[in-house]
Amino acid sequence: MRSGVSFPHAASSEKIASIRLDIPISGVDGELSLLALSVKLKSQLPYVFRFDLEDRGSDIIDVSSVDKTPMAMLTAIVRHLGPGWRGAVLSFGMVIYRNQKNYPYATLVEP
C-alpha cells in the first residue's frame, strides 16, 4: 500500500505527494549519532532529504523503538533536536532545519 502525504493548499491533482513515507529504512537500530542516522536516511531515500544539524550531528539518538520508516525517523530526529527545530515533508522530499520558516505546502513536524 502506498503512503502519501496530503497537502491541503495544493491543487487537487497534487494533494498526494509523490514521495513514499512507508519505505523501510535498514541499518538504523539502537544508538546512532544524528549525523549517521541522517546520512543513512539520505542514502536510502529515493527523494530529496536535506538537513543541517549545525553542531548537533554528534548527538546520540536511540531509535530502537522507532518505526523504521522515513516519517517516524524524521519525527524522532526533530523531537530529539527540540524547540527551534522543524522538519517538513514536501512534495519533493523531506527537510530538517533550525528555523521557523513557513512551508505552506508541507506537512510540518515539530518537537
Determine contact, residues 73/98, Cβ cutoff 8 Å: no
d(CA 10, CA 89): 13
Q: Is the pLDDT of residue 5 over 60?
A: no
H/E stretch holding 40 reads helix 34-44
pTM score > 0.85 for this model? no
d(CA 110, CA 25): 21
pLDDT attached to residue 17: 53
Give the count of beta carbons closer than 10 Å to the beta carbon of residue 20: 16
Q: What is the pLDDT of residues 48-84, one digit of tens each?
A: 999 999 999 999 999 999 999 999 999 999 999 999 9
